[in-house]
Structure 1
Amino acid sequence: MFPPGRGNDNLDPGDIYLISVFGTNEMFTAVGEGFCLREYQEGHHDQMWICEKDSNYQIGMRNRYTGRFLGTRGAGRLECIAYENLAREWLTFTRLTLGGYSINVNPDLTAKRRPLQRVDGDSPHLKVGEVATQFGLHKIKNPVFRRFEWVIPGRLARSSAPYYSGEDVDENINETSIEFLNNYGIKHIISLNSIELPPRPRGWLRAAGISYSHIKAMEYAAVTQEQFDQIWNAYNKSRVTIIYCGYGDGRTGMAISAIQLFQGRALDDNDYRENGVQCPSQIAALNVLRDRINSDESRSGSADILDTQPPPYTVPENTAPEKKQK
């Protein structure tokens, strides 16, 4: 029995993969804290790997069964020990002209990455070698939270809305999306989607121990200063959090930038754009927030207030209220 596909699927954060020795049914398999190659078994979670990208844009592969990342330790052994995507767990996938991928690792934390290679003979193990072995990537299911990545590993993540395919209304919470959240230990959602989840899926989240904060934001539009405060309060009082909107760029990037400002980060327009902020009104709103935080810090003489509550917001005089987004 062979895995699905040819092994040439694209690598995208948030998707789940089988990894094969290219052209065979030998699959990457987690065995406790160890690793080996085993014959493909349909539906076995120990052969499934979730692609994750951390805040340094480094790729790691987390085993769906153990929750540990594929990585290297002493003597170039391939193991599954770490629960975080650390430097020894960073992987580089390079598409090969003959099909499949080579996988490079950094076993001794130097600048040079080396390829994974099949151990000679029939051994079910891989080693850090000099000649790259061909490996296949097989995407096994459609993504739930597309473009998933950690902003602060183990604390704050971002993604598209679950099952997003072009419209905010695509957002859907079901057993599969809750399983995805549980796999990452996520216990809180901040949604900037223009549409709030209906009562039933909110109830399913509560039953799974996942809280939900909806802060309505329209696509390509800024949120209000009061909503920035709501974002910070929702994040600051919660556990591991994911933020999404629709596609996961502009509104999500605005919320990420706001949290970083509240935490005392010094951000400018380029930083906002790096976070995914898309339009001038969003950048302008973040600059008002930045000035408000800096002004309050100057008056108080201490940044401690940022750890407890947002600074007060006062509407400037002679300023007409914004028109509501249609």
Structure 2
Amino acid sequence: MFHRILASLLVAAAIVQAVRASKNTNADVSVYGDEVGIKRFAWVTSHLQKGDRLARSGAPDFGGEDTDQYLSGRGLQFLKSQGITHVISVNSAAKFKTMERALAKGGIAYTPLPVKDRGVPSLGDYEKAWNAFKAHRTGATLVWCGYGHGRTGAMITALQMFAEHEGPRPHLFTHADFQANIVENDGQRNSLLALQKMLFERRPK
């Protein structure tokens, strides 16, 4: 038992030191994330307000199906080493309590907004995600779905839109932005265009 605990502590220390030793580029951090099951981890660096910290990844140890997700101790330590304090999950199995409990062990808050694979978050989902992001803005939020592309890309884009509309001249998102965020299908793109229209209509005249 002692040896297993010691081994876990050594691995955790190695992860922290390795991430610190890197220059915290997305490429470097993603490599360490891959090793502990947090694949395709990347920081979002555009269309946010100063001080905002937003990241994206695949679900922990994703194995091809949304229910194939498991957060190991090493995965949790990696998230903590990156300063993640809040996770938004748009995985269709997001409401499984096992993930919420695993994150809670590391003091990480959890917002489950289940969306089926290749599905489309609703405008209500986008609003809930934004409110949760704002509630945890002093820390860092991570968004994941299953693989970490379409649904995650849609939610990341939505959060960027909301952040842009806090400023005086919000960016007009186009299909190029959706492609850069790996938004997968027309349904997701159309939902984001609808959100953008709503946000512009809300602005003071």
TM-score (norm 2): 0.77
User: How has the CA–CA distance of structure 1 residues 44 and 177 changed in structure 2, closer, same or farther, with 3 Å as cutoff?
Assistant: closer
User: How has the CA–CA distance of structure 1 residues 181 and 289 changed in structure 2, closer, same or farther, with 3 Å as cutoff?
Assistant: same
Is residue 2:122 matched to residue 1:224? yes
Is residue 2:179 matched to residue 1:179? no
Tell me how far apart the structure 1 counterparts of residues 179 and 188 of structure 2 sit (CA, whole Å). Answer: 10
Match of residue 145, structure 1, among 30, 34, 38:
38
Taking the TM superposition and a 5 Å limit, the aligned residue runs for 1:275-314 are 275-297=181-203, 300-301=204-205
User: How has the CA–CA distance of structure 1 residues 201 and 219 changed in structure 2, closer, same or farther, with 3 Å as cutoff?
Assistant: closer
Q: Secondary structure at the match of 1:242?
A: strand
Amino acid at match of 1:285: S
Segments of 4+ in structure 1 off by > 4 A? 43-48
Is residue 2:93 matched to residue 1:161? no
Q: Which has the larger radius of gyration?
A: 1
Amino acid at match of 1:247: Y
- Structure number with the higher strand fraction is 1
Which has the larger displacement, 202-211 or 271-280? 202-211
User: How has the CA–CA distance of structure 1 residues 164 and 66 changed in structure 2, closer, same or farther, with 3 Å as cutoff?
Assistant: closer
Q: Secondary structure at the match of 2:143?
A: strand
Aligned to 2:68: 170
CA deviations 1:35-84 (Å, max 9, x no partner) are: xxxxxxxx966995x6xxxxxxxxxxxxx32752446xxxxxxxxxxxx5
Deviation of 1:236 (Å): 1.6
Report which structure shows greater RCO (CA 8 Å, sep ≥6).
2
Aligned to 1:252: 152
CA deviations 1:214-254 (Å, max 9, x no partner) are: 00111122111111101111112112011000000000000
Is residue 2:127 matched to residue 1:235? no
Deviation of 1:185 (Å): 1.1
Aligned to 1:96: none
Aligned CA-pair RMSD: 2.9
Q: Secondary structure at the match of 2:88?
A: strand
Is residue 2:89 matched to residue 1:191? yes
Identity %: 29
Quick check: 2:150–2:185 contact (8 Å CA) kept in 1? yes
- Structure number with the higher helix fraction is 2
Tell me how far apart the structure 2 counterparts of residues 192 and 208 of structure 1 sit (CA, whole Å). Answer: 20
Amino acid at match of 2:44: V
Tell me how far apart the structure 1 counterparts of residues 25 and 39 of structure 2 sit (CA, whole Å). Answer: 19
Tell me how far apart the structure 2 counterparts of residues 179 and 255 of structure 1 sit (CA, whole Å). Answer: 24
Quick check: 1:189–1:241 contact (8 Å CA) kept in 2? yes
Amino acid at match of 2:63: S
Tell me how far apart the structure 2 counterparts of residues 154 and 46 of structure 1 sit (CA, whole Å). Answer: 26
User: How has the CA–CA distance of structure 1 residues 212 and 66 changed in structure 2, closer, same or farther, with 3 Å as cutoff?
Assistant: same
Quick check: 2:53–2:140 contact (8 Å CA) kept in 1? yes
Quick check: 1:163–1:170 contact (8 Å CA) kept in 2? yes
Quick check: 2:36–2:74 contact (8 Å CA) kept in 1? no
TM-score (norm 1): 0.50
Aligned to 1:208: 106
Match of residue 267, structure 1, among 173, 189, 193:
173
**Unaligned 5+ residue runs, structure 1?**
1-42, 51-63, 72-83, 92-136, 302-326
User: How has the CA–CA distance of structure 1 residues 273 and 173 changed in structure 2, closer, same or farther, with 3 Å as cutoff?
Assistant: same
Q: Secondary structure at the match of 1:282?
A: helix
Aligned to 1:117: none
User: How has the CA–CA distance of structure 1 residues 262 and 47 changed in structure 2, closer, same or farther, with 3 Å as cutoff?
Assistant: closer
